[in-house]
Structure 1
Amino acid sequence: MKNIILLLALTALIGACNGGSNTEKLKSKLERLEKDIQAKTIEAAELKEKIAELDPEFSKVTDQSVLIKSETIKQQDFKHKIQVQAEVASRKNITMGAETMGRVTQVNVSPGDMVKRNQLLVKLDAPTTENSIKELQTALDLAKTIFEKQKNLWDQKIGTEVQYLEAKNRKESLERQLATAESQLAMAYIRAPFNGRINDVSVNTGELVQPGMPILNMVSQEEMYLKAAVSEDYINDFNQGDSVEVYLPSIKRSFSTVVSSVSYVINPANRTFQLEVKVNEFVDKLKPNQFAKLTLVDYENENAIVVPSDVVQQDNIGDFIYVVKSENNQNKAQKVRIERGKSYEGMTEILKGLKAGDKIISEGYREAVSGIAVRLAQ
C-alpha cells in the first residue's frame, strides 16, 4: 500500500510540472523516491518475516514472494572482439616513369589491359643510342679480330706482351661500352616488371617525355593484403598469426584469415599503428583501396565467469547482481557486489564477486530486492 501511495505521489508530481520545469530536479526527486520505495519494500519484507515467525498463518495469507528464473554460473571461454576499418592494398601497385629523355613512338597498351612480365608497353625513340651501339659493335668486331690474332702470336712467343695486353684491353673496354649503351637503349623500352593489369596510361604517341615523368600505372593481384590503422591502445593485443574475420561490404563476402604483420611504430599524427592481414580468398574480386571490415579478438579468458549483461545493475554504490540464496529451506534474493570486466555481444565477464556454482536471478531481477523471498519458475 505504501508503495502505491508513493507511486501516486510521484505521478502527481511529474504531472504537475510543465514542459519548462527543471529536468534535473525532477530526476533528483525521482531518484529519491525510487530509493525510498526500495528501502520501504525491504523494511516491509523484514516486518513480514518477523510477523511470520510469530504467526505462521500470516505467511500463508501474505505470501508476496517474487517469481523468478535462475541460472547457475559456470566457467567458460570468453572473447572480446573489436572491429576496425581496413583497405585493400597491393605490394605490386606501381607507377612507372621514364628513365631517359625521348619521344614516345609506341603505346602498346590501354587502361584495363592484362599484361605479362617483360611485355613491351611503351617505346621511346633513341636514335643517338642506337647509332652509338652500331658504331661500338663495329669497333668491337675489329677489336676482337685484332685480339685473337695478337693472342695467337703471343701463344707462339711472337710479339710483345704489351701488344697482347693492349689488344685485350681494347676489346674489353669496347665490350663494356657496348653493354652501357645497350642498358641506355633498354631504358627506352618500357616493359612490364610483372604480370598484372594496366590501371592508367599517362602519355600519347608523339609526346616528348623527360626522366622521371610518369608513363603508366599498373597493379597486380598476386600480392594483395589488407592494412588497417589500429589505435595504440591495442598495441600489445595482437600478434602475427592471430585469427581475423574479414567482411567485404562491396561484394558482401566474408572469409577468415590471419594477421601477417604488426607494426611496432606509432604514427604520431593519429596515434595508430599499422596491422596487415593476409588475403586468401576472393583475390580476383579485390581492388586496391577497396574497403573492408576486420574483426579481431583483443581479449580472451578461457576460464571466465560470464553472465548476461542485462542482469548487471547499478546503484549509487556501484555494480551488483541478485543471486539466489537458500535460508531455512526458503530461497531468497541477495544483492552481491561485483566487479565487471569486458562486455561483448550481450555477455559480461565478472572479475570479482561471483564464482562457479553461484545461482543468479536471470529473469525477475528487477522486481527483486535483497532479502525478499523468491519462487523459481517451473
Structure 2
Amino acid sequence: MKSYSKLLILPFIAVMFSCAKEDELSTKKAELEAKKSEASELRASIESLEKEIAALDPEFGKMNRKSVLISTIKPNKEHFQHYVEVTGSVLSKKNVNISGEVSGRIQEISAVEGMRVRKGEVLAVIDAESVQRNIDELETQMELANIVFEKQERLWNQQIGTEIQYLEAKNRKESLEKNMAGLKTQMDRTKVKAPFNGTVETVNVRMGELVQPGTPMFQFVGESDLFIESDVSERYVGIVNRGDSVEISFPSINETLKTKVTAIGTIINPNNRTFKVEVVLPNLSYVKPNMISVMKINDYENKDAVTVPNYLVLQDSKGDYVYIVENDMSKKRYIKRGMVYKEITEVLEGLDGSETLVDKGFREVGDNFSVNISQ
C-alpha cells in the first residue's frame, strides 16, 4: 500500500516543479523586455542630448561622432553621349505580292516558301493552250500574208498593178506581225517570273487553280533595299533629326553596325503618340526582313562633361546632391543634373571634376561626418 502511495506522489511533485520553472522563465522574460525598453529610451535620450550639444558646440560633435569607413572615387571628365534607344523591325522596299497577268489554270509551280531565286527565274506557269492556238492560227495567216506581199512587191517594182494593192498587202502583213508580237508577249506572261533577286515568303496558289489577272500568287521579298522602321515617342520631336548618327544592333545574331537616320515621319500616330523613323541598311547577308533590331540614336553629346555614377546622386527637398570628402569630413554638395544615360549622370553645375566623392559607405555618412578612407 505504501509503495502505491509513493507512485501517486511522484507525478504530483514533477508537475509542481515544472510549474515553478515556467513561472521563473516568464518572470525573467518580462524583466528582459522591461530592461530593453529602458535601454531604448535611454539611448534615444542620449542621442537627443548629443544632437543638442553638437548644435551648440560643433567641436563636441566632431569628437563624439565615430568615423565612418568609406571608399572614394573621382568624377570623370569625358566625352558624354546620350542615346535614344528604340526597337525596330527590318523591312524591305521590295516586299511585293506577285500576281498573274493572264487568265488560266496553274499548270506548274516551281517555287516553294523560303526559296531564294534570281531575277527572271520562273516561279509558276499558267496554262497557255488558248494563247498557243491563237499563235498557230496567226502563223498560218502570216504565211499567206507574206506570200501576197512578196508578189505585190515584185509587181509594184515592175510597175504592174496599183499602189493601193501594194499598200493593202503591206499593211496586212505588218498588222499580223504586230498581233503575233502581242500574242508572244501574252505567252511570255503565262510564266510568272521573279522581278528581282529575293526570297519567296508565301505561295498563295495551288496546282490546277484558276487565276485571273491581279490574283496574288506569291509574296516576294527582295534581298536589297532593306531598311529599319521604328516608332519614336513624340517627346523626341525636334531632338531626333535626319542625319543623326545611329548604332544598330541585332540581338538575335549579336551584330552591330553604324549608320544614319534617313527619314523622319511628319505625322504623329494618335494611337500611341509616336512618329516614324527610318534608317536605310547596307546590303548585309546576315540581315533578313522582319528581324528585330535595337536602334541607338545619338541625340546629345558633351565633349567635356563631368560625370558621376547614378547611384551616388541622392535627393532631398532642396534638390540633387552627392557627398564629397574635405579634410576627412563628408560634405553634402548640391549639383545640377544634366542628361542621364544608363549608369552615368552628367553634372552641369556643382562639380568641376577635381573633387573626391564618397563611394562605398555613402548611405552611412551625412553632412560633416568624420570619415576614414579605406586604402
**Category of TM-score, reference length = shorter chain:** 0.7 to 0.9
| Match of residue 361, structure 1, among 346, 358, 364 | 358
C-alpha distance 74-128 of structure 1, shift in aligned 2 (>3 A):
closer
C-alpha distance 74-107 of structure 1, shift in aligned 2 (>3 A):
closer
C-alpha distance 261-159 of structure 1, shift in aligned 2 (>3 A):
farther
Q: Distance in 2 between matches of 1:42 and 1:162?
A: 128
Q: Distance in 2 between matches of 1:298 and 1:111?
A: 41
Residue 105 of structure 2 corresponds to which residue in structure 1? 103
Residue 292 of structure 1 corresponds to which residue in structure 2? 293
Q: Map Cα deviations across residues 282-321 of structure 1 (whole Å, 9 max, x no partner).
A: 52xx543233333443332221111111221111221112
Tell me the SS of whatever aligns to 2:359: strand
Q: Map Cα deviations across residues 83-138 of structure 1 (whole Å, 9 max, x no partner).
A: 32222333333332222221222223333444333222222223332222233334
CA contact (8 A) 1:103 1:125 kept: yes
Residue 276 of structure 1 corresponds to which residue in structure 2? 279
Tell me the SS of whatever aligns to 2:131: helix
Q: Which runs of 5 or more structure 1 residues have no equivalent in the other structure?
A: 13-36, 53-58
Shift of 1:348: 0.6
Tell me the SS of whatever aligns to 2:175: helix
Residue 180 of structure 2 corresponds to which residue in structure 1? 178
Q: Distance in 1 between matches of 2:143 and 2:261?
A: 55
1:309 to 2:319 alignment: no
Q: Which piece of structure 1 moves more, 195-204 or 158-167?
A: 158-167
Tell me the SS of whatever aligns to 2:183: helix
Write the mapping of 1:104-253 to structure 2, written as runs, cut at 5 A. 104-144=106-146, 146-147=148-149, 162=164, 165-235=167-237, 236-240=239-243, 242-249=245-252, 252-253=253-254
Residue 20 of structure 1 corresponds to which residue in structure 2? none
Tell me the SS of whatever aligns to 1:193: coil
C-alpha distance 287-280 of structure 1, shift in aligned 2 (>3 A):
closer
Shift of 1:188: 1.8
1:48 to 2:58 alignment: yes
Shift of 1:346: 1.8
- TM-score scaled to structure 1, two decimals? 0.72
Tell me the SS of whatever aligns to 2:271: coil
Shift of 1:227: 2.9
Q: Distance in 2 between matches of 1:352 and 1:202?
A: 64
Q: Distance in 2 between matches of 1:241 and 1:157?
A: 78
CA contact (8 A) 1:260 1:278 kept: no
Residue 351 of structure 1 corresponds to which residue in structure 2? 348
Shift of 1:194: 2.7
CA contact (8 A) 2:106 2:207 kept: yes
Shift of 1:340: 0.9
C-alpha distance 68-213 of structure 1, shift in aligned 2 (>3 A):
same
> RMSD value over aligned CA atoms?
3.8
What is the one-letter code of the residue matched to 1:333? S
Tell me the SS of whatever aligns to 2:112: coil
- TM-score scaled to structure 2, two decimals? 0.72
CA contact (8 A) 1:196 1:220 kept: yes
Q: Map Cα deviations across residues 195-251 of structure 1 (whole Å, 9 max, x no partner).
A: 3343333333322222322223333434444332222333432544723131333xx
Q: Which runs of 5 or more structure 2 residues have no equivalent in the other structure?
A: 1-36
1:77 to 2:79 alignment: yes
Q: Distance in 1 between matches of 2:52 and 2:300?
A: 40
The size of the alignment, in residue pairs, is 332
C-alpha distance 96-169 of structure 1, shift in aligned 2 (>3 A):
same
Tell me the SS of whatever aligns to 2:339: strand
Identity among equivalent positions (%) equals 35
Tell me the SS of whatever aligns to 2:272: coil
C-alpha distance 315-45 of structure 1, shift in aligned 2 (>3 A):
same
Tell me the SS of whatever aligns to 1:118: coil
